[in-house]
Structure 1
Amino acid sequence: MKNWALSHLNKYLFQYRYYLLAGIAFVFLNNFFGSYQGPVIRETIDYLEQSLPALKQAAGTEKVTLQAEFGSKVTFLVLQILGLTILSGIFLYLQRKIIIGTSRRIEYDVKNEIYDHYQQLPVSFYKRNNTGDIMNRISEDVNQVRNYLGPALMYGMNLFAIFIVTVPIMLSVSTELTLYTLIPLPFLVISIYTVQNVITRHSEEIQRSMSRLSSLVQETFSGIRVVKSFGRETSMTTQFDAQSNEYKSKSIHLTQINALFFPLMVFLIGASIIFIVWIGGKKVIAGEGVTNGNIAEFIFYLNKLAWPVTSLGWITVMIKRAEVSQERINQFLKQKNTLLKGKEITTPIKGAIAFKDVSFTYPDTGIEASKHISFMVAPGQTLAIIGNTGSGKSTIASLLCRLYDTSSGDIEIDGISIRDYNLQFLRSQIGFVPQDVFLFSDTIRNNIAFGFDNVTEEQIIEAAKFSDLYTSIQHFPMGLDTILGERGITLSGGQKQRLSLARAFIRNPRLFILDDCLSAVDTKTEDTILNNLKVVLGDRSTIIISHRVSSVKLADKIIVLEDGQIAQSGSHEELMDKEGIYRNIYLKQLHETV
């Protein structure tokens, strides 16, 4: 039998069991004090019906005495109703505070569980799944699950409690009136459930339409430079109008369906009231032990039962939606980290790197990016990797950072397989500057100091100077406190790369990996950064990955990749002395710069 998706939440229900038990107790107390207003209402109406004629006929001293008794009795009954109402309200507040509050606590825990799991998953997971879907599962899907843990659970318990408390009171007064009170309720549940299903289906369509509209807006403003440079404002506005009209049409249609909800509810409740008044009235006239107070009492019970019974259809829909959402969440939670733990070594790294017959095939595409790669880098040595696009340069960086594990062969640092290092420790020792720079919508200061809580002003300035960015920062009105636009849109391509380089430098890593991170800077700036690099690195090992000879020619050793294999290796001078790929690349680039 297939496991119920929502059973994954049982551990949280158990964790917060005392909260939930308290919440259930408050639900019963709320309904107990709320339902016992009925007998007091009956007693009040019956007393008024019996006392008022005698009070009208009395005169003199007798009338004064009856008025005093009447006033005292009515005051006592009104205070009873008021007291029961207040107690019911207090316990209603407590039930909502406890149960809804618990659902928020579980929502917090579930989001943290998903987020922590996301953090553990390999890069291949993020290549298979788009960001919107990943975000949706931690936001919209978790919200649907919270509706099950909060409102659905609370209203479900409330429905159970009110039947347990109220129906016995009703039966003790009149079985027939109880039956006529309850007869329309199943029709109310079925009708509301049907309408709610239609509403849910249309709501999901509206949600999808809203997602498309949001995506269009996000892409338009994220790529506003491209839109404006191609003069496509009118075209994008037309697309927005079409998406917006679709959303408007679906929303209006849903509003029309929603309009049926309350009239249907009022009609069915009104039908029940008619039954109660008709049958009850006949019994009052026939003198069959039913009073006008009983009729008022049963109308009160009907109003007490109407919303909980109506909510049953809503609860069912919420549970169905939560189950679908939890199943989607479970799909991601079942994803396993393919980077298995080794010995969890945290020995300080010196920087000796060795690739030993390393081959790697991307699991998602089946592309063999590295084929029998072998090389060594001594501590403090600079290795450059050059090659044409698609030759496998960036794969070397990904494998060394252990974003992927090798398909065959091994990578060692200081003679220890990188699989045996603690993964977080290993990455903390590497200053990785990727070719695809990502900056946060935050200050330049916080982008440089990303990942550190205690960084001094001097360290930030030093990192900015190292990457030849500090002069540019000084020209900004807010300096280091300049807020960057989304993905660093405020900065030029070269400034983004230099900021990313400063971010890596401030970590003071043992290994530097520069993955084509100087492609957007001019030759003069590139020379400044590379010279700074040689001065400050000391005994740190460095791997420079580039397609430009100007970036790699000062390296101690250069390897040339072609189709995932090492085609050539040696120093700049050695490679220039022989015919081959490196010499061809150099001459071609030299010709382009002339």
Structure 2
Amino acid sequence: MKELKHLNKYFKKYWFKLLLGILITIIARVFSLIMPSYVNKSIQAIEQFMAKNISMDQAKEFLFQYILIIVGAAILSGLFTFLMRQTIINVSRYIEYDLKNEVFDHYQILNLNFYKKNRIGDLMNRISEDINQVRMYGGPAIMYGIQTLTLFVCLIPLMFIKAPTLAAYTLLPLPILSVLIYQISRIIHTRSTKVQEFLSTLSTFTQESFSGVAVIKAYSLEPKINAEIQDLAQEGKDTSMDLAKVNAWFFPLMILLIGISNIFVIYIGGKQYINGEITSIGIIAEFILYVNMLTWPVAVVGWLTSIVQRAEASQKRINEFLKVEPSIKNEVTQTTPIKGNIEFRNVTFTYEDTNITALDNISFKIDAGQTVAFLGKTGSGKSTILDMVARLYDATSGEVLIDGTPIQKLNLNSLRSAIGAVPQDAFLFSDTIENNIRFGDETATLEEIKEVAKKAVVHKNIEGFSKKYNTVLGERGITLSGGQKQRVSIARALLKNPRIYLFDDCLSAVDTETEEEILNNLKQLSEDKTTLIVSHRVSSAKNADKIIVLENGKIIQEGTHEELNNVDGYYKELYLSQLSEKE
């Protein structure tokens, strides 16, 4: 159970509710023990009446009292059982809530490499299915464990006090039942782990299929995907059936061995009654009730083992991720104001997952308020520069400085709050257009949202929708065209009004006229802002204060549009090529 030690902090947090729940559980079980003895007394009262030892009125009086006690004890037991579930089961839900938040918060601080190495379906399965298995340990396992322990402690001594020989025969099959169920639980643990792992695979496959449905349809891959999902479904069925076959032994074994206990009670008890070793037939009825009260607790011993083993396996999978240390850490607690000066000093960066060196010993300076454009072929390192300014990655060697301070010595929240980023692959949430833009500033009014939408040249498009700004987008903004998604993302960044703008090829899906209009608006809005533009188009870069041309992670040209256009090189060739295309 070493992996489950992670939950001890939550047990400590909710110790009072747990302690109260345990106390209520004990009280509920004690009240449930009252009924069998008074059933015995009721039968004895009838026997005494039949033997003419008491009158009819006395027998009725005794039976009425015993029935009231039985009903009262049952009501109190039911009430305390309800309170037990309201305390212990609720605690398990609190633990589930806290653990999900802990895992999600940890997911958020992990660096991008983590998400490149792990599949989304697996991440989702660990925060849902695995945590649900752990919840069973934090609630039902404790509740039924205390119930079982209370019954064993109270009931077994009571049975031996009343009829030692009968008790010994009655309890004989129960340890066998417990051992068998324990062995079954071990097999269940192994097979349920396989089921959990399969669910991760299935979640990943379906998530990728739904996200890439446009590609699947475009390439007529439906038959191939259907065949793959059928294979997965078959594998899932086989895995689940292996588990179900073992689970099928659980209750039949329990019923069989409890039935044997009942036979022992009737046979041994009957012989003892005939031989005069027990004085009342009521003791037999009492013991039958005891056996049936022990049925579930004895079975629970194995079932609890299964719950704990499943929780252990699931918590181990959760801990694997919780133990992953984020490579990007916020080591500064106080806020740090950002002006917008950026400097790269001999920066080299190599991607951990591919071992590709994206930046190779580059250096440059950008003053606050400057607009700098980065051009170059695909894979030249342009986007990596923007990622490093936002500190999504740290340099392998060299230094990135913001306002003359190494980026690691800045408060990470202050840095990112001062940045408005528009990624190359515009991401929009499945929400209204208004809320997607308001993501840049949660306090913004609708008029402010419309104003930035106009600057991003997307206002007319939005007004053309039937629900306008209340139009709900599909997942990842699938309702909009590529150009519309990019412009909504630009509007979101403009609404944030940051100190630093990062535009990563965010006009690639718009026409040249719209691009020109957006760039003119951006120039007005970013006069005192530091703006970094990554583009493949000279038209997006020519008005920048400085243009940096990259190739294979190195700076090969640097200067203004006029300076670079007057010398032979990559920039002039690109400019002439795109100019001829435009003409």
What TM bracket, shorter-length normalisation? over 0.9
CA positional deviation for 1:252: 5.3
Closer/same/farther in 2, CA of residues 351 and 246 from structure 1, 3 Å limit: closer
State the distance in 2 between where 1:374 and 1:216 align: 43
CA positional deviation for 1:84: 1.0
> With structure 2 as the length reference, what TM-score do the two structures score?
0.95
Aligned AA (2:14)? Y
Aligned AA (2:318)? I
- Aligned pair partner of 1:24 in 2, 22, 25: 22
CA positional deviation for 1:253: 5.7
State the distance in 2 between where 1:6 and 1:416 align: 43
Tell whether the 8 Å contact from 1:399 to 1:406 is kept in structure 2 after alignment: yes
State the distance in 2 between where 1:246 and 1:326 align: 24
Q: Which residue of 1 aligns with 2:38?
A: 40
List gaps (5 residues or longer) in structure 2.
none
Q: Which residue of 1 aligns with 2:538?
A: 549
Structure 2 residue 576 is matched with structure 1 residue 587: yes
Stretch moving more, 505-514 or 325-334: 325-334
CA positional deviation for 1:247: 3.8
Tell whether the 8 Å contact from 2:343 to 2:366 is kept in structure 1 after alignment: yes
Q: Which residue of 2 aligns with 1:370?
A: 359
CA positional deviation for 1:289: 2.7
Tell whether the 8 Å contact from 1:345 to 1:420 is kept in structure 2 after alignment: no
Seq. identity, %: 49
CA positional deviation for 1:554: 1.2
Closer/same/farther in 2, CA of residues 312 and 451 from structure 1, 3 Å limit: farther
Q: Which residue of 2 aligns with 1:465?
A: 454
1:152 aligned counterpart, secondary structure: helix
State the distance in 1 between where 2:440 and 2:494 align: 13
CA positional deviation for 1:285: 0.3
Structure 2 residue 430 is matched with structure 1 residue 441: yes
> With structure 1 as the length reference, what TM-score do the two structures score?
0.93
2:421 aligned counterpart, secondary structure: strand
CA positional deviation for 1:260: 3.3
Structure 1's consecutive aligned runs of 4 or more residues displaced over 6 angstroms after TM superposition are none
State the distance in 2 between where 1:198 and 1:223 align: 38
State the distance in 1 between where 2:347 and 2:249 align: 67
CA positional deviation for 1:442: 0.7
2:374 aligned counterpart, secondary structure: strand
Tell whether the 8 Å contact from 2:129 to 2:196 is kept in structure 1 after alignment: no
Closer/same/farther in 2, CA of residues 27 and 273 from structure 1, 3 Å limit: same
Q: Which residue of 2 aligns with 1:84?
A: 73
Q: Which residue of 2 aligns with 1:59?
A: none
CA positional deviation for 1:586: 2.4
2:102 aligned counterpart, secondary structure: helix
Question: C-alpha deviations, 1:499-544, integer Å up to 9, x for none?
Answer: 1111111101011010111111111111111111011112111010
Closer/same/farther in 2, CA of residues 345 and 284 from structure 1, 3 Å limit: closer
Q: Which residue of 1 aligns with 2:399?
A: 410
State the distance in 2 between where 1:480 and 1:185 align: 67
1:294 aligned counterpart, secondary structure: helix
Q: Which residue of 2 aligns with 1:123?
A: 112
Q: Which residue of 2 aligns with 1:51?
A: 49
Tell whether the 8 Å contact from 1:512 to 1:542 is kept in structure 2 after alignment: yes
State the distance in 1 between where 2:237 and 2:309 align: 26
CA positional deviation for 1:367: 2.2
State the distance in 1 between where 2:235 and 2:457 align: 50
CA positional deviation for 1:273: 0.4
Q: Which residue of 2 aligns with 1:351?
A: 340
Q: Which residue of 2 aligns with 1:11?
A: 9
Stretch moving more, 238-247 or 565-574: 238-247
Closer/same/farther in 2, CA of residues 416 and 209 from structure 1, 3 Å limit: closer
Q: Which residue of 2 aligns with 1:502?
A: 491
Alignment length, in residue pairs? 583
Structure 2 residue 278 is matched with structure 1 residue 289: yes
Q: Which residue of 1 aligns with 2:57?
A: 68
Tell whether the 8 Å contact from 2:345 to 2:400 is kept in structure 1 after alignment: yes
Q: Which residue of 1 aligns with 2:552?
A: 563
1:54 aligned counterpart, secondary structure: coil
Aligned AA (2:353)? D
Aligned AA (1:297)? E
Q: Which residue of 1 aligns with 2:522?
A: 533
Tell whether the 8 Å contact from 2:192 to 2:310 is kept in structure 1 after alignment: no
Tell whether the 8 Å contact from 2:185 to 2:305 is kept in structure 1 after alignment: no
Tell whether the 8 Å contact from 1:280 to 1:290 is kept in structure 2 after alignment: no
State the distance in 1 between where 2:401 and 2:253 align: 72
CA positional deviation for 1:66: 2.6
What are the equivalent positions in structure 2 for 1:251-266 lying under 5 Å apart?
Answer: 251=240, 254-266=243-255
Structure 2 residue 298 is matched with structure 1 residue 318: no
Closer/same/farther in 2, CA of residues 203 and 347 from structure 1, 3 Å limit: closer
Aligned AA (1:454)? T
- Aligned pair partner of 2:481 in 485, 492, 502: 492
State the distance in 2 between where 1:410 and 1:565 align: 16
CA positional deviation for 1:26: 1.1
State the distance in 1 between where 2:246 and 2:117 align: 38
Question: C-alpha deviations, 1:401-436, integer Å up to 9, x for none?
Answer: 011122222222222222222101110101111112
List gaps (5 residues or longer) in structure 1.
56-64
Closer/same/farther in 2, CA of residues 187 and 452 from structure 1, 3 Å limit: farther
Question: C-alpha deviations, 1:364-387, integer Å up to 9, x for none?
Answer: 333222122211122221100111
State the distance in 1 between where 2:469 and 2:529 align: 28
Stretch moving more, 350-359 or 71-80: 350-359
Tell whether the 8 Å contact from 2:344 to 2:399 is kept in structure 1 after alignment: yes
Tell whether the 8 Å contact from 2:96 to 2:132 is kept in structure 1 after alignment: yes
Closer/same/farther in 2, CA of residues 389 and 343 from structure 1, 3 Å limit: same
Closer/same/farther in 2, CA of residues 222 and 125 from structure 1, 3 Å limit: closer
- Aligned pair partner of 2:411 in 403, 416, 422: 422
Closer/same/farther in 2, CA of residues 451 and 168 from structure 1, 3 Å limit: farther
State the distance in 2 between where 1:254 and 1:5 align: 24
Question: C-alpha deviations, 1:58-87, integer Å up to 9, x for none?
Answer: xxxxxxx93322221111111111111111
What are the equivalent positions in structure 2 for 1:165-180 lying under 5 Å apart?
Answer: 165-180=154-169
2:549 aligned counterpart, secondary structure: strand
State the distance in 2 between where 1:212 and 1:136 align: 9
CA positional deviation for 1:214: 4.5
Stretch moving more, 441-450 or 287-296: 287-296
Structure 2 residue 485 is matched with structure 1 residue 514: no
Tell whether the 8 Å contact from 2:440 to 2:495 is kept in structure 1 after alignment: no
- Aligned pair partner of 2:565 in 551, 569, 576: 576
Q: Which residue of 1 aligns with 2:463?
A: 474
Q: Which residue of 2 aligns with 1:58?
A: none
State the distance in 1 between where 2:317 and 2:501 align: 39
